[in-house]
Structure 1
């Protein structure tokens, strides 16, 4: 099967393959769905919505509203400030998403700015031992960037992403401004979760072969460097992708407001894209927000060593002209894995038992 032969079926998976452990456990743990809990026949209630976004199977990080266990967890709202002020989960704090993209320049390339990330979490009262629940309008990349930043800082408490986002929350809500408490965030950085520009340059020619798996999460048009495409970033001096990278658009991780079907995601990445679940996998995008969606999805599915190129294609494509030989870009050798998905969803809030 070639990387372009993505399938929605698990029937072609090799049951003896080590990388299929997650898919087998997902299949074994997935049920036929929870029974409706409507208060009146024929009416879809908020409780039904909460049950429908419960995460089934052997999946880490993601949980529906009915699956949250920590009563004293800190809720972080990754939506915009305007949405947060209008209505939010009661007691939630506004996640400092923009500050969590901060980077530091090293001799090897850009990496996350540890001091800036730690300061941003401390400013909203998050301490390293706190259990944290992150939510947004969906499970999009703003939410996953928050989760990644916590993991990178060596967060010791549980980190959970609310599947279904705010629209499927059935608990208490609040409105207006709120000044959060502050905390001292003392990081224990996990440097193994990121790679640098030079780390990648030393392995060019080995990706998705003898070396690490490498996933470009941008749209196929950006990956291919399609001339005239609106997907091309004008700020990039070169277009295309890192040699050997396979393209799987990050939108494929999201189905409206929820994580896409875990069985299909496992097939997409470990079968169609032929990534080694037990090997090193590096993900990158234009910047350092969108690829965290794929980073978290792969970790949630049980991939053991997933790393983020925080500098992204923006750094790689814009090295000085004299250094381009060390950091090549290609468009001719291409592997695009079709990934269907959409971020968002309808806002249907009409619940009534009065007919």
Structure 2
């Protein structure tokens, strides 16, 4: 599979024995609703719910941190995701949260994972089949291995301030990046990591919610001052939309990519980490 698949492609592939579909919708802080309940009310046939708020490291209070490999494997097996599965991820979220699930699955050893272009909104707008209820799945074996080479820690981000070896690209809104809009989570300072570039994720999508591609996508990175050919580490509020920037760079062929898992929830909570306000 290519990293990005169309609704037409998925409709033709639904029902094949090796295909698995997952809904990775997560709501932003302050948003009303229940993503799991919405999934049970209406989802793409055969889909299972990938709970990004639960498949996390509970040993830390930093939200959405990567879980231990054993926990990830257990959750994937319970969702019927196993070795040899072709996995298509979608969401119905302004955060485009399917990118986080795509990134996690690849990190923990899944080999064929794609994102559904346009997500559930496009699928539904085209009048395609939906179903409701809790899915019944058969447990499968998921061989897990955690390749952390594309994950950055706070210590590594502090070191990068000295070396400037990697471009830091922040997916938050311009106002949050500048520190002129309060963070949605409590006890976080406003602003951004010194030297980082701002690329709000909305700039990567067309009006219908599909991904920009080719020159249009490249232009978004270029306008933000990001060089796809050079090392990039992405960040955001809690590691969700950082994966959107990561995926967009992947579509452009970027090879040297990493994601700061703690993101601003960790960096902005520290009283000693350097913080810059204002535009980049």
Aligned-partner Cα distance in 2 for 1:262–1:139: 22
Kept after mapping to 2: 8 A contact 1:128/1:187:
no
What's the CA shift string for 1:17-60, capped at 9, x where partnerless?
xxxxxxxxxxxxxxxxxxxxxxxxxxxxxxxxxxxxxxxxxx95
What's the CA shift string for 1:141-189, capped at 9, x where partnerless?
3211111110110212x11111122343365432222222222322121
Pairing 1:231-246 to 2, within 5 Å after superposition:
231-233=182-184, 235-246=186-197
Which 5+ residue runs of structure 2 have no aligned equivalent? 26-34
What count of residue pairs does the alignment treat as equivalent?
259
Name the structure 1 match of 2:160.
203
1:155 matches 2:110: yes
Q: What RMSD over aligned residues (CA atoms) do the two structures have, in Å?
A: 2.5
TM-score by length of 2: 0.82
Pairing 1:133-148 to 2, within 5 Å after superposition:
133-137=88-92, 140-148=95-103
Kept after mapping to 2: 8 A contact 1:241/1:331:
yes
Pairing 1:112-191 to 2, within 5 Å after superposition:
112-113=66-67, 114-137=69-92, 140-156=95-111, 158-169=112-123, 172-191=129-148
Q: Secondary structure at the match of 1:134?
A: strand
Aligned-partner Cα distance in 1 for 2:194–2:205: 27
Name the structure 1 match of 2:38.
83
The CA deviation at 1:84 is: 2.1
Aligned-partner Cα distance in 2 for 1:298–1:144: 12
Name the structure 1 match of 2:8.
66
Kept after mapping to 2: 8 A contact 1:286/1:314:
yes
Aligned-partner Cα distance in 2 for 1:250–1:149: 19
Q: 1:150 to 1:103 in 2, by over 3 A?
A: farther
Kept after mapping to 1: 8 A contact 2:237/2:265:
yes
Which 5+ residue runs of structure 1 have no aligned equivalent? 1-58, 336-355
Kept after mapping to 2: 8 A contact 1:96/1:120:
no
Kept after mapping to 1: 8 A contact 2:23/2:49:
yes
Kept after mapping to 1: 8 A contact 2:109/2:143:
no
The structure number with the bigger radius of gyration is 1
Give the counterpart of 1:267 among 213, 219, 231: 219
**After TM superposition, which residue ranges in structure 1, 4 or more long, deviate above 4 angstroms?**
none
What's the CA shift string for 1:83-104, capped at 9, x where partnerless?
3222222222122222234366
Q: 1:163 to 1:234 in 2, by over 3 A?
A: closer
Q: 1:89 to 1:232 in 2, by over 3 A?
A: closer
Name the structure 2 match of 1:52.
none
Name the structure 1 match of 2:29.
none
Kept after mapping to 2: 8 A contact 1:74/1:133:
yes
Q: 1:232 to 1:167 in 2, by over 3 A?
A: closer
Q: Secondary structure at the match of 2:259?
A: strand
Q: Secondary structure at the match of 1:201?
A: helix
Q: 1:205 to 1:60 in 2, by over 3 A?
A: farther
Kept after mapping to 1: 8 A contact 2:204/2:220:
no
What's the CA shift string for 1:265-303, capped at 9, x where partnerless?
11121x223323232100101111121111111112211
Aligned-partner Cα distance in 2 for 1:166–1:316: 33
Mean CA deviation greater in 211-220 or 234-243: 234-243
Q: Secondary structure at the match of 1:265?
A: helix
Kept after mapping to 2: 8 A contact 1:117/1:149:
no
Q: Secondary structure at the match of 2:37?
A: helix
1:102 matches 2:48: no
Name the structure 2 match of 1:223.
177
What's the CA shift string for 1:200-223, capped at 9, x where partnerless?
11110444xxx2111111111111
Aligned-partner Cα distance in 2 for 1:118–1:151: 12
